[in-house]
Structure 1
Amino acid sequence: MEKRLVETDLFGEMGRWSKPSIYQVPEWVKNMTTDSEQAAYYRPLLVSLGPFHHGKGHLADMEEHKERAVLHIVKRSGKPLSEFITAIEGVIDELLDAYDNLEDKWRKAERHLFVKIMVLDGCFLLEMLKGVSDKEAPRDYATNDPVFSVHGMLCLWVGIRCDMLVIENQIPLLALYKLEEIWRGTALLSARDINNLVLNFVWDPLEDKDKQRDRIVDNKLCLHPLDIYHKHFCGLHPATQGTKMKWEPSMHCAVELKEAGIHLRKCNNTNVMNYKSRVLSLPTISIAHDGTAKIFLNMMAFERLHSDAGSEATDYMIFMDNIINSERDVALLRSKGIIKNLLSSDKEVAQLFNNLSRGAVLNPYSRLHEIRRKVNAHCGRPWNRCWAIFRYTYMRNPWAFISLVAAAILLIATILQTIYSVMGFYKP
């Protein structure tokens, strides 16, 4: 340990911890959820990307198709395979450093195997990304190809997308950039091109081109596919502030907020969550398939393990867990356009959010504390709840309101009649 004292230099440690961005999920993170299928959330089910899950038996079927992708790309580009290999070897140290706690064998005895994995996995991804983006398969594949055909790509998209967003199953975008650079044969390739290509695949490739252009992308090359998804997701939700907020207790659920007179609306011009004048504006979120929970959990794990990722996604999940207690809350949020539910029931969505935030803590610097404070202050005033119940009971239906007015007039007339009768008794 005395020999390692020199390693405690501040800038040296900062440089060391800034390199890794792809992590193996520790047990303490996995144990935060009590779901019986928790192990499946952090492992790929269809295709392995990178060294952590390379060679796993249940992923072996896709290896043949990776090799076919390399052969087709090399033949289509007109470049020798050695150029693709050389491009990866030129940045191999940066690619190795991207993986946290990578075994020494990958840097020494199996260094060549690591290069092979980057070429195979990178070419496979590029083939899938471009095929889905162009909405057509490359013409040098058979029309009945099980993977690289329109039918194959559409059927496999959901599974490959979920595996691309598993934190242990990432491939650095630097590898894709270098391979694409050789493929194109031009120096005009930009980091934005690769970012957009990946983002369109992992977000929604079926959106029209105008919406795709409006997406949030960086001019700087992102770390990996999960980093791109996380950046775009957090662009829809509030960022943390620089000053520490006062801690606030959990909020009431959505139905109780409505009963207290708070209007729930989806964000219109801006996607930043806010509360103003008894209106709580929330961004729209889609729960499209059973893999949504897996994607959200890996995004939250990325925030826990990568200090530069922030905590916006975790804070948002905690906030949604606060306002969703049952399917009634989901139904209310769905009716407001805040939740787009494509699952079989609202109860599944409620269970999803209730399970996501177990063990998570709201960032003390999050501006969601301020929203909590304002909402809780409003709900804490008894008059607000009484007025909300009155409006909900008598002012939603015109006939109920007319009945109320008629009853009030009748009551006033009865009181006046009583007063005049009493006055006539004492002063005839």
Structure 2
Amino acid sequence: MILLDGIFVIQLLLIYGKQRKTLPNDQIFGKPLIVDDVRRDMTLLENQIPFFVVQRLFKMAFEKHWRGMPKLLELVCQFFKTVMRMEKLPESKESEVKHFVHAISLSFLRSVRKGQDRCYRKIKFTPSATELVAAGVELRRRENNRLFDIQFENGVLEIPYLVLEDSTEFYFRNIMAFEQCYCENTYLTDYMVFMHHLVDTPGDAELLIDKEIIENCLSNKEAAARVINNFGKENPVTPKFYFNSLSHELTKHCQRPCNKWKATFKRDYCSSPWAIISVIAAVVLLLLTVAQTVCSVLSLK
């Protein structure tokens, strides 16, 4: 069975990568959307074939004529391009790949900052997007595709682009299951826990959608909030929680009263040119009143 599945996978990757022609009356490429169904089946954690088996079969088939033939991992990356966060894995990773889900999870690791100071204090979760904005935090889309590369600096929280579509939950669930069973660091799980607390309500989802941080391909903002909240539920958070330090910074910022006062002032009195003009006029009037009062007191003396 493994031999049959391995040969099927190699043939599938070759045809998808334009290395072989489609066969007449092909049962996969001859029908719309079947390729997407096969891709989903190949990313189920329970359906994984050991990568070294596929590698060995690939080598047996093409070792004598490698010229012009892409490497197996290149074909895998091309096939799962719509799922991965990078188009090509580092060359040194090929021997370490366990199976297809592992290959997809490795594509996310480029967004992990090497040498980042991990916070081992008490686990603290980030306030919601609405609470952050109320405390004066500016939400901004980060211009890269490194999912975990979230930064908070000078009151600005930059979050990379996230697409939510029907297949997102399916693929992420399998990667998270793999992380929790076999990996020391659960980066995607930690990311979804972070997003779960950031998007607490449909209003939070709407904020991130308006800022183009989330592209919502689902039916509505309620569906987007529900998908993100489902990811975060009942997921274990380890002392190595990747976003713990960031969550501490955001919580500390929200707990400072002056930040909320500044945000309220900007929202209520600086939201439009007319509001700013009215504030300036009020300040000028107050200063003139004070000056008049001082002059009256001095004249009496």
Structures share fold, TM-score greater than 0.5 = yes
* 1:295 alignment counterpart: 171
Per the alignment, residue 76 of structure 2 pairs with 198
Structure-2 change in CA distance of 1:366 and 1:249 (3 Å): closer
For residue 257 of structure 1, report the CA deviation from its aligned partner: 0.6
Q: Which residue of 2 aligns with 1:279?
A: 156
Alpha-carbon deviation of 1:370?
0.9
Equivalenced residues, count: 297
* RCO comparison, higher one (Cα < 8 Å, 6+): 2
Shift of 1:176: 2.0
The answer as to whether partners of 2:45 and 2:174 remain within 8 angstroms in 1 is yes
Q: CA deviation at 1:178?
A: 2.3
Asked if the contact 2:123/2:239 (under 8 Å) is kept, the reply is no
RMSD: 2.9
Q: Secondary structure at the match of 1:204?
A: coil
**What amino acid maps onto 2:157 in structure 1?**
L
Structure 1 residue 193, shift from structure 2 partner: 2.1
**2:28 matches 1:147:** yes
User: Is the Cα–Cα contact under 8 Å of residues 236 and 283 in structure 1 kept in the other structure?
Assistant: no
Match of 1:338 in 2: 213
Tell me whether 1:264 sits opposite 2:145 in the alignment.
no
Q: For residues 94-153 of structure 1, what are the alpha-carbon distances to aligned partners after superposition, in whole Å with 9 as ceiling and x for unaligned?
A: xxxxxxxxxxxxxxxxxxxxxxx123222222233233333x9824323xx44233xx2x
Is the 2:84–2:108 Cα contact (8 Å) retained in structure 1?
no
Partner residue of 1:167?
45
Is the partner of 1:223 in helix, strand or coil? coil
TM-score, length of structure 2 as denominator length: 0.86
Tell me the amino acid that sits aligned with residue 175 of structure 2. M
The letter of the residue matching 2:259 is N
Match of 2:78, as an amino acid?
A: N
Q: Evaluate the alpha carbon distance shift between residue 382 and residue 368 of structure 1 in structure 2; reply closer, same or farther with a 3 A threshold.
A: same
The residue number in structure 2 matching 1:212 is 87
1:325 match: secondary structure: coil
Q: CA deviation at 1:238?
A: 5.2
The equivalent of 1:112 in structure 2 is none
2:65 paired with 1:183: no
Q: 1:204 to 1:270 in 2, by over 3 A?
A: closer
Q: Distance in 1 between matches of 2:295 and 2:144?
A: 59
The equivalent of 1:133 in structure 2 is 17
Is 1:119 aligned to residue 6 of structure 2? no
Q: Is contact 2:77-2:84 (8 Å) kept? A: no
2:35 to 157, 167, 178: 157
Q: What is the aligned partner in structure 2 of residue 74 from structure 1?
A: none
Q: Which deviates further from its counterpart, 235-244 or 175-184? A: 235-244
Within-5 A mapping of 1:27-426: 117-134=1-18, 138-142=21-25, 145-149=26-30, 152=31, 154-186=32-64, 188=66, 193-204=71-82, 212-213=87-88, 218-237=93-112, 245-268=120-143, 271=146, 272-289=149-166, 291-308=167-184, 310-424=185-299, 426=300
* Identity across matched positions, percent: 28
Rounded Cα–Cα distance in structure 2 between residues aligned with 1:163 and 1:200 = 17
1:193/1:130 Cα in 2 relative to 1: closer, same or farther (>3 Å)?
Answer: same
Letter of the 2:75 counterpart? L
Structure with larger Rg: 1
Residue segments in structure 1 that go unaligned for 5+ positions in a row = 1-116
Amino acid at match of 1:253: S
- 1:173/1:237 CA distance change after superposition, 3 Å: same
Question: Deviations for 1:358-381, whole angstroms, at most 9, x for unmatched residues?
Answer: 222323123411111111111110
User: What secondary structure is seen at the aligned counterpart in 2 of 1:340?
Assistant: strand
Return the offset for 1:179.
Answer: 2.5
SS of the equivalent of 1:220 reads helix
- Structure 1 contact 237–273 (Cα < 8 Å) conserved: no
Partner of 1:171, secondary structure, is coil
Contact 1:248/1:369 (8 A) holds in 2:
yes
Check conservation: 2:135, 2:254, Cα contact below 8 A: yes
Alpha-carbon deviations, 1:239-279, whole Å to 9, x = none? 79686610143221012111211122233368322222212
CA contact (8 A) 1:173 1:225 kept: yes
Q: Distance in 2 between matches of 1:240 and 1:336?
A: 30
